[in-house]
Structure formats: C-alpha cells, structure tokens
Amino acid sequence: MDQDVNITIIDREGVEHQVQAPTDMNMNLMEVCKAYELPVEAVCGGMAMCATCQVYIKSDHDLGERNPDEEAMLWEALHVQDNSRLGCQIPISDDLEGLIVELAPEQ
C-alpha cells in the first residue's frame, strides 16, 4: 500500500511547514524540500558535495550513522551541529513518520 509520511520542516524564519512525503518514489528529504518550494539550494543536486541542504534533526528519530561522504562534507561546512545531516542523504521511508527538521542557516 502506498503511503506518505508526515514531516515537519522548520524554515530559516522559524515557520513550521507540515509536509507529506511519499515513501514509494525513492525521494530524499532534500527533494521533498524542493518539491514544497522550501529554500534549499541543493547546488550539487543531491551528491553530498555542497552541504546546501543541511538540516538539524529536532526529533528523536534514529537516522543511522552518517556515510563517509556526508561526514566529510559536514566536516567542511558552516553552522554544523551534532544533529546536522544532509537532506540529500536521508531517504524517505516509513521510519520518518513524525520527523522534525530545521533548515540550517545558508552558507
């Protein structure tokens, strides 16, 4: 059965956006932000090479460890926090129901 998950995305002005993300389209969080016209630049197109889709994970979801490319990019990025992740490296799945993220400041 096709299902959407509910995700809250807090923009850089503090406004909460309740979005529905499809679990059956092989999308990632960066693509969902772009689909909802949220201000995510995504310069590299989701290749984990720019950090312009950096978000802060605000909920208690276990997203697993950062992969080496994501870790390397965040090591060089600005405004990185312990809960920083690249939206392009977060695939949309049923496990993300209720996820809350905040967009990091622009580089």
Q: Averaged in consecutive runs of 10 residues, what is the pLDDT profile of the chain (107 residues)?
A: 89 97 97 96 92 97 95 96 97 98 92
Instruction: Report pLDDT for 98.
Output: 98
Instruction: Report pLDDT for 84.
Output: 98
Instruction: Report pLDDT for 2.
Output: 61
Q: Which residues pair with 18 in a beta bridge?
A: 8
pTM: 0.94
Query: Domain spanning 4-103 has what CATH number?
Result: 3.10.20.30
